[in-house]
């Protein structure tokens, strides 16, 4: 038995919700370890659909412990709203079933204000944030001026920290021509909400250590994707946290040896939301078809996703930087019926072939995909539950991907239904 970390191996939106839900049924504990409510997972359990942002996917299953780690930045109002939403769908959420790290950083109203003001000032050079304050909250955390969950339990200290924090941010807001943020309003709002948040607060690291010693199965649930990692992604068009699997340990308060298997979720093609380089992007009819067939709209923002062919160079790089053991390949059925498929297996930069995604902004914008062309398939993969159910050319496509990314396919998803999954290896057991 071992613990498993699940991460996206592209730019997010890889279909992690279904896979995490499948794994959470086998886990005892599900831990969110980074990001904020800018990430979204859609779960379909029975006849109910749950759209989660902050809450770990295990929350919809009775007798599972859900944990929000210190690596997550938490909007307390968004958290309570999400709890109320799932409760209306019949999910019981209590301090016995949900733990919130007492050292997690809070997202405040001023963070949302700054986030939106910055994007407006960037104009055409905007990064494409969700405007929910995630980036500014992480900045405050690193600058050691953040307000944390535990601060809600000390009114005097909370007031002092807010005064220091808002004095810093109001300098920027004033220079940007924005209204200054009010300390009094922030203090009143947080004081009001504190009694509803504090019952969930706990030293999460201690609970995880105890659970590990009791040999409980722990599932670490990542948000976004590896190529949005603040260090290893397409900087500066990235998120504000580390999305690699190593963050599962840091963001939850446990050691790296706690994690035994890293599962990377990977679409059978490529999508991206917002700005930034995308070498294999298709702006033609094929790209439009991929978007329509795959219902490519963001769970949280509703924004239309950009679509393109599978980029093996990018995924291989994500696998190496994140230490991915095997991948779960999703949305294979979206490719049904294409007479011809392409896979990017290299880039051309300044007349030379390269096999990695460069770090420089000019280079990232300049690389051109080098494609390998394959014959598509006319049969359907939708709903397939064994390799024998797949068209021969679909199997060839999967085998080529495994070869190019240097990692095996551990799971294959052939529809949004959780039963429509071909399991090669169970990450918890095999």
Residues assigned a catalytic role: 13, 41
Q: Are 340 and 311 in contact (CB under 8 A)?
A: no
Distances (CA, A) of 261 to 39, 43, 201, 212, 410: 23, 22, 28, 15, 11
For the chain, give the longest Cα–Cα distance.
68
Q: How many CB atoms lie within 10 A of CB 307?
A: 26
Look at the block and give the residue holding tokens 């790089």. Answer: 317
Q: Is the dihedral of CA 254, 255, 258, 263 positive or negative?
A: positive
Beta bridge partners of 273: none
Q: Are 55 and 225 in contact (CB under 8 A)?
A: no
Report which of 104, 105, 94 is spatially closest to residue 196, judged by C-alpha positions. 94
Residue 228 sits at φ, ψ, to 5 deg, of -105, 5
**Spatial distance between the Cα atoms of 75 and 63, rounded to a whole number of angstroms:** 25
- On the CB side of 374, CA atoms within 13 Å amount to 22
**Spatial distance between the Cα atoms of 133 and 36, rounded to a whole number of angstroms:** 9
**Spatial distance between the Cα atoms of 202 and 102, rounded to a whole number of angstroms:** 5
R_g over Cα of the chain:
22
For 274: left if phi > 0, alpha if psi spans -120 to 50, otherwise beta; the answer is: left
Tokens of 397: 């496509």
Dihedral in degrees, nearest 10, Cα atoms 283, 284, 285, 290: -30
SS3 at position 332: helix
* 3-state SS string for 393-405: HHHHHHHHHHHHH
């Amino acid at each position: 038995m071992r613990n498993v970390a699940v991460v996206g191996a592209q730019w997010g939106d890889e279909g992690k919700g279904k896979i995490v839900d499948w794994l959470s049924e086998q886990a005892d504990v599900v831990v969110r370890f980074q990001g904020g409510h800018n990430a979204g997972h859609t779960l379909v359990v029975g006849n109910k659909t749950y759209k989660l942002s902050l809450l770990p996917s295990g929350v919809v299953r009775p007798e599972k412990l859900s944990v929000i780690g210190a690596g997550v930045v938490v909007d307390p109002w968004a958290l309570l709203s999400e709890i109320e939403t799932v409760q209306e769908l019949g999910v019981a959420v209590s301090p016995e079933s949900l733990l919130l790290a007492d050292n997690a950083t809070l997202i405040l109203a001023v963070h949302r204000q700054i986030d939106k003001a910055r994007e407006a000032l960037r104009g055409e050079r905007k990064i494409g944030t969700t405007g929910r304050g995630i980036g500014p909250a992480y900045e405050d955390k690193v600058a050691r001026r953040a307000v944390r969950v535990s601060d809600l339990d000390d009114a005097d200290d909370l007031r002092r920290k807010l005064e220091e924090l808002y004095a810093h941010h109001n300098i920027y807001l004033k220079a940007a021509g924005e209204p200054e943020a009010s300390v009094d309003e922030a203090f009143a709002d947080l004081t009001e909400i504190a009694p509803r948040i504090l019952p969930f607060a706990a030293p999460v690291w201690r609970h995880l250590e105890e659970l590990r010693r009791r040999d409980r199965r722990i599932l670490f649930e990542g948000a976004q994707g590896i190529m949005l990692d603040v260090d290893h992604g397409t900087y500066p068009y990235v998120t504000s946290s580390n999305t690699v699997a190593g963050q599962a340990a840091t963001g939850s308060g446990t050691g790296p040896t706690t994690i035994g298997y890293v599962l990377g979720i990977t679409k059978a093609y490529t999508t991206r939301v917002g700005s930034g380089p995308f070498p294999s992007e298709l702006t033609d009819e094929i790209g439009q078809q991929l978007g329509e067939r795959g219902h490519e709209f963001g769970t949280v923002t509703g924004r239309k996703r950009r679509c393109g062919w599978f980029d093996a160079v990018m995924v291989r790089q994500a696998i190496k930087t994140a230490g991915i053991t095997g991948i779960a390949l999703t949305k294979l059925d979206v490719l049904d019926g294409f007479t011809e498929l392409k896979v990017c297996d290299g880039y051309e930069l300044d007349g030379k072939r390269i096999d990695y995604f460069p770090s420089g902004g000019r280079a990232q914008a300049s690389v051109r995909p080098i494609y390998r062309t394959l014959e598509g398939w006319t049969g359907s993969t939708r709903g397939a539950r064994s390799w024998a159910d797949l068209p021969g050319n679909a199997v060839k496509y999967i085998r080529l991907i495994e070869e190019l990314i240097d990692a095996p396919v551990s799971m294959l998803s052939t529809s949004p239904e959780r039963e429509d999954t071909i399991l090669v290896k169970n990450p918890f057991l095999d």
